[in-house]
Amino acid sequence: MYKEKQLVGIAKRENNTKRKYLVVNRLQGKHIPVRPKEAFQMFSELAAQVREAYAGERLLLVGFAETATAIGAALATELDTLYIQTTREDVSGAEYLYFSESHSHATEQKLVRNELDGRIEAIDRIVFVEDEVTTGNTILKIVNLLAAEYPGKTAFAVASLLNGMQEEALEVYRKRKIPVHYLVKTDHSSYTQAAEGYRGDGKYFAKDERPALVTELRVNGKMDARRCVQAREYRKACGELWTTIKKTDFFVDKKRVLVLGTEEFMYPALYVAERMEEQGIFVRCHSTTRSPIAVSSEEEYPLHGRYELESLYETGRRTFIYELDKYDAVLILTDARDGGRGVDTLVNALKSCGNQEIFLVRWCSHQTHASSHMVCCPRE
């Protein structure tokens, strides 16, 4: 059983008047580096609640981008269900259902509609998976959207690591017959005041766009969870990705390794990191993020160093990585097709912390010219 203080760190959102605080989960592997085993243990406890509640039902789990994509995938693989994540990226050939996350720094969310049209008759319940539910308003938006698109076709439920919903919001869910599952109940009444009390005097590093050399491996066989996948097949594909990485020598004789995911692409990074941890290696895993969060020198504050990056997915979009350190080797895992200056900024941020052996693995869904060997790629 988890306690609030084990999981919850209160941080200050940068230039966001809608919600001034951000709950940073200490074990999730998003903003703070984490042992992959600890992240998966936490996800497994939430999966157990869903398994007990809906034994015998045909489930579709929906993980919310970007922070809950790994949680949703982990639950789906453990429960052997269908899985899809929401996204803010463009998916080739997709038609979308749009909804908004009004408190977020990036408000637009999308769900690929094509993937539901042919499957809805085989789904008894859609379970929305989140890292943290505060008011429940965002999930109600997508529930209302799906209920209108597919009237009477499916039931709904919510599963999150943290739940801060007040009684009035929970009553709305009860009346709508939408069960709510969570590991820890939180009280957000003091979070705004706590966030405003921090100094925000941590270390901020501007993006460095100079061309950077990085050893790159392109691996075919990607499954994209922005489209509906059978979770067991998704995990199998991640296993094949790991098998290819294992054949390289990048982590041989390395005692400390960092595995980094990129934005929405989190689960494969955690999966690979867990496999490395099983090899007896000291491994930490987290990922880049769109979230602009203040950092502070105060010890109790969850984030102390912030590196500004350019997104690997969209030119000109700011992204960030927090709490970097020096490791014997760093593995960046991404499904971004190119990355451009985004790769440069991430590699330069890692090098500024003393990291010298940096490897980029790009998971591709089709054959590429560099798919069968490792190439040293300067970014122009």
User: Cβ neighbours of residue 324 under 8 Å, at least 6 residues apart?
Assistant: 305, 307, 349, 350, 353
**Which pLDDT score is estimated for 102?**
52
Hey, which residues does 329 pair with through a beta bridge? 257
**Which pLDDT score is estimated for 376?**
43
Question: pTM to 2 decimals?
Answer: 0.94
Matching fold, domains 4-197 and 203-378: yes
> What CATH number belongs to 203-378?
3.40.50
- Whether residue 66 is preceded by a cis peptide bond, meaning omega within 30 degrees of 0, is yes
Decide if 358 contacts 351 (C-beta within 8 A).
Answer: yes
* pLDDT, one tens digit for every residue, the chain (380 residues): 899 999 999 999 998 778 899 999 999 999 999 999 999 999 999 999 999 999 999 999 999 999 999 999 999 999 999 999 999 999 999 999 998 765 454 468 899 999 899 899 999 999 999 999 999 999 999 999 999 999 999 999 999 999 999 999 999 999 999 999 999 999 999 999 999 999 999 999 999 999 999 999 999 999 999 999 999 999 999 999 999 999 998 888 999 999 999 999 999 999 999 999 999 999 999 999 999 999 999 999 999 999 999 999 999 999 999 999 999 999 999 999 987 899 999 999 999 999 999 999 999 986 443 333 344 444 44
Decide if 229 contacts 223 (C-beta within 8 A).
Answer: yes
Domain residue ranges in the chain: 4-197, 203-378
**Which pLDDT score is estimated for 336?**
96
Burial label, 353 (beta-carbon count in 10 A; 0-12, 13-18, 19+): middle
Burial label, 277 (beta-carbon count in 10 A; 0-12, 13-18, 19+): buried
Q: What does the alpha-carbon distance between residue 11 and residue 23 come to, in Å, rounded to a whole number?
A: 6
Phi and psi for 94 in degrees, rounded to 5? -90, 150
Does the domain spanning 4-197 belong to CATH 3.40.50.2020?
yes
Q: Is 136 left (phi over 0), alpha (psi -120 to 50) or beta?
A: left
Q: What does the alpha-carbon distance between residue 290 and residue 118 come to, in Å, rounded to a whole number?
A: 32
**Which pLDDT score is estimated for 379?**
42
Query: Distances from the Cα of 343 to the Cαs of 30, 167, 208, 292, 372, in angstroms?
Result: 18, 45, 10, 19, 20
Return the number of other C-beta atoms located less than 10 Å from residue 131's C-beta. Answer: 21
